[in-house]
Chains A and B, each alone.
Chain A
Amino acid sequence: DVQMTQSPSALSASVGDRVTITCRASQSIDSELAWYQQKPGKAPKSLIYKASNLGSGVPSRFSGSGSGTEFTLTISSLQPDDFATYYCQQYRTYKMFGPGTRVDMK
């Protein structure tokens, strides 16, 4: 099975900061990776698919990159609405989520 890790597990940041989250797969998943945002008590929201493609209606401050085993989600300028938990998910072999990265206010 493909195992997913994320780093860091949590980070504190301020509005306007550039934020980068890393997701690693235990084996190559090509570009079969998605990113989701989840706020407390809410359903996840799709952000990125196929490693770097922005989902419908997702602000351009979000971007994704990577292929193979290492991927990044970048928020170019953190906004108040972006404080949330972020999950990566591989879909190369079945579907497996990373453990999540919580982004909170510094």
Chain B
Amino acid sequence: EVHLVESGGGLVQPGGSLRLSCVGSGFTFSSHWMSWVRQAPGKGLEWVANIKEDGTDKYFADSVTGRFTISRDNAKNSVYLQMDNLRAEDTAMYYCARDCLGGCFDNWGQGTLVTVSS
């Protein structure tokens, strides 16, 4: 069974940084693109970033380009989201998701909450 577990969320001041982690199990991690998707409180879903199987290609939503970076360590079955220069509007539940062929998401983690506030 596919399992994704996020960690690293918390309360951070505007302008601060946070690094989220996601560990995958139950599948061949190195064979899948991985994504981060977020959901602000009471709002809809927003794709944030994704990364190719070997880490060589990365894509970002316009709203986070230049502030967020995505990376992975296939030896640790992990994908990371480094978030810098955080803003209040980055407050959200952040989900790790496994990409299915073409760009949908077939498995999701339970999420980790990021709150940006002074």
Which residues of A approach B to under 8 Å, CB–CB? 32, 34, 36, 38, 42-46, 49-50, 55-56, 87, 89, 91, 94-100
Contact = CB atoms under 8 A, between A and B. Distances in A.
Nearest to A95: B47
Interface of B: 35, 37, 44-47, 50, 59, 61, 95, 100, 102-111
Which one of B37, B50, B59, B105 has the greatest number of beta carbons of chain A within 10 Å?
A: B105
Nearest to A85: B44
Which one of B61, B95, B104 has the greatest number of beta carbons of chain A within 10 Å?
A: B104
B105 A97 contact: no
Given A87-B45, A94-B47, A94-B59, A43 B102 contact: no
Nearest to A97: B45
Nearest to B100: A49
